[in-house]
Chains A and B, each alone.
Chain A
Amino acid sequence: MKEPSLKKMTAAEKTEAKWAWAFIAPTMIGLIVLNFYPAVNTVWQSFFKSDPFGRGGKFVWFDNYKTVLAASETWQSLWNTIKYAIIEVPFGVVIALILAVFLNKKLKGTSAFRTIFFLPMVCAPAAVAMVWKWLYNQQFGLLNNVFHTNIAWISDPKIAWISVGVIGVWSVIGYNMVLFISGLQEIPGDYYEAAAIDGATGIRQFFHITVPLLSPTTFFIVQTRLIGALTIFDLMFMVMDKTNIALKSVQSIVYVFYTYAFTQNNKGYGATVVIVLVAFIMIVTFFMQKLEKKMVFYN
Chain B
Amino acid sequence: MKRIALLVMLMLALTVSAAFAETLTVNIWDNNQRAGIQQICDEWSATSGIDVKVDVIDWDNYWTLLSAGASGGTLPDVFWMHSNTAQMYMDYDLLLDLTDYVAADDAINLDDYYQGIVDLYTRDSDGKVFALPKDHDTIALLWNKAIFDQYGVEYPTDNWTWEDMYEAAKQITEKSEGNVYGMAMNTSNNQDGWYNLIYDYGGNVVSDTHDSTAIDSEGAKAGMEMMRKLLTVGAPQTVVAETGTENLFKSAKTAMISQGSWMINNFYTAENHEDYFWALLPYADVNGNGQADDGERWSCYNGLGWAAAFNTANPDAAYSLISWLCAKEQQIKQAELGVTMAGMPGVSEAFANAFPGMDISAFLAAEDFNLYMRPYTKMTTVWEDPIQQAGGFLDAWQNPEDPAIMEKACDNAAAIIRDAIAQGY
Interface size class on chain A is: 20 to 34
Q: How far is the CA of A252 from the CA of B242 in the complex (A)?
A: 19
Q: Report A-chain residues with C-beta under 8 Å of the C-beta of B244.
A: 241
Interface string of B229-244 (1 = CB under 8 A from A): 0000000011111111
Q: Report B-chain residues with C-beta under 8 Å of the C-beta of A140.
A: 243, 251
Interface pair A152/B71, CB less than 8 Å apart:
no
Interface string of A229-251 (1 = CB under 8 A from B): 00000000000011111011000
Q: Report A-chain residues with C-beta under 8 Å of the C-beta of B94.
A: 53
Interface string of A130-173 (1 = CB under 8 A from B): 00010011111000000000001011100000000000000000
B352 at the interface (CB under 8 A from A): no
Q: Report B-chain residues with C-beta under 8 Å of the C-beta of A243.
A: 186-188, 237, 240-241, 388-389, 394, 397
Q: How far is the CA of A263 from the CA of B379 in the complex (A)?
A: 10
Q: How far is the CA of A82 from the CA of B390 in the complex (A)?
A: 22
Instruction: Identify which of B237, B390, B397 gathers the most chain A CB atoms within 10 Å of its CB.
Output: B390
Interface pair B379/A244, CB less than 8 Å apart:
no
B70 at the interface (CB under 8 A from A): yes
Of the candidates B64, B188, B382, B390, which one forms a contact with A262 in the assembled complex, judged by CB atoms under 8 Å apart? Answer: B64
Of the candidates B63, B92, B237, B382, which one forms a contact with A245 in the assembled complex, judged by CB atoms under 8 Å apart? Answer: B237
Q: Report B-chain residues with C-beta under 8 Å of the C-beta of A247.
A: 389-390
Of the candidates B71, B239, B382, B390, which one forms a contact with A139 in the assembled complex, judged by CB atoms under 8 Å apart? Answer: B239
Interface pair B385/A155, CB less than 8 Å apart:
no
Q: How far is the CA of A138 from the CA of B238 in the complex (A)?
A: 8
Q: How far is the CA of A152 from the CA of B70 in the complex (A)?
A: 41
Q: How far is the CA of A130 from the CA of B233 in the complex (A)?
A: 29
A125 at the interface (CB under 8 A from B): no
Interface pair A155/B64, CB less than 8 Å apart:
no
B381 at the interface (CB under 8 A from A): yes
Interface string of B250-269 (1 = CB under 8 A from A): 01010000000000000000
Of the candidates A54, A263, A266, which one forms a contact with B385 in the assembled complex, judged by CB atoms under 8 Å apart? Answer: A263
A193 at the interface (CB under 8 A from B): no
Interface pair A242/B388, CB less than 8 Å apart:
yes
Q: Report A-chain residues with C-beta under 8 Å of the C-beta of B188.
A: 241-243
CB of B21 to closest CB in A, whole Å: 27
CB of A270 to closest CB in B, whole Å: 12
CB of B182 to closest CB in A, whole Å: 16
Known contacts A243-B389, A245-B390, A248-B390; A53 and B238 CB within 8 A of each other: no
Interface pair B67/A155, CB less than 8 Å apart:
no
Q: What's the A-B contact tally at a CB cutoff of 8 Å?
A: 81
A51 at the interface (CB under 8 A from B): yes
Q: How far is the CA of A54 from the CA of B238 in the complex (A)?
A: 36
Of the candidates A53, A155, A263, A264, which one forms a contact with B242 in the assembled complex, judged by CB atoms under 8 Å apart? Answer: A155
- Which residue of the partner chain B has the closest CB to A258? B64
CB of B390 to closest CB in A, whole Å: 5
Of the candidates A53, A263, A266, which one forms a contact with B71 in the assembled complex, judged by CB atoms under 8 Å apart? Answer: A53
Interface pair B238/A52, CB less than 8 Å apart:
no
Interface pair B241/A241, CB less than 8 Å apart:
yes
Interface size class on chain B is: 20 to 34
Q: Report A-chain residues with C-beta under 8 Å of the C-beta of B187.
A: 243
Q: Report A-chain residues with C-beta under 8 Å of the C-beta of B381.
A: 263-265
Interface pair A138/B242, CB less than 8 Å apart:
yes
Instruction: Identify which of B67, B88, B251, B397 gathers the most chain A CB atoms within 10 Å of its CB.
Output: B67
Q: Report B-chain residues with C-beta under 8 Å of the C-beta of A139.
A: 239, 242-243, 248, 253
Interface string of B379-399 (1 = CB under 8 A from A): 101100100111000100110
Q: How far is the CA of A242 from the CA of B379 in the complex (A)?
A: 18
Q: Report B-chain residues with C-beta under 8 Å of the C-beta of A244.
A: 238, 241-242
In chain B, residues 197-237, which have Cβ atoms closer than 8 Å to a Cβ of chain A?
A: 237
Interface pair B238/A245, CB less than 8 Å apart:
yes
CB of A260 to closest CB in B, whole Å: 10
Known contacts A53-B92, A243-B389, A247-B390; A264 and B71 CB within 8 A of each other: no
Known contacts A138-B238, A139-B242; A265 and B394 CB within 8 A of each other: no
Of the candidates B186, B237, B241, B379, which one forms a contact with A265 in the assembled complex, judged by CB atoms under 8 Å apart? Answer: B379
Instruction: Identify which of A53, A138, A259, A263 gathers the most chain B CB atoms within 10 Å of its CB.
Output: A53
Interface pair A265/B239, CB less than 8 Å apart:
no
Q: How far is the CA of A128 from the CA of B122 in the complex (A)?
A: 44
CB of A124 to closest CB in B, whole Å: 15
A14 at the interface (CB under 8 A from B): no
Contacts A/B (CB < 8 Å), 13 sampled: A51-B92, A137-B242, A138-B239, A138-B242, A139-B253, A140-B251, A152-B238, A155-B238, A243-B188, A244-B242, A248-B389, A248-B390, A266-B382
* Residue ranges of A at the interface with B (Cβ–Cβ < 8 Å): 51-55, 133, 136-140, 152, 154-156, 241-245, 247-248, 259, 262-266
* Residue ranges of B at the interface with A (Cβ–Cβ < 8 Å): 63-64, 67, 70-71, 88, 92, 94, 186-188, 237-244, 248, 251, 253, 379, 381-382, 385, 388-390, 394, 397-398
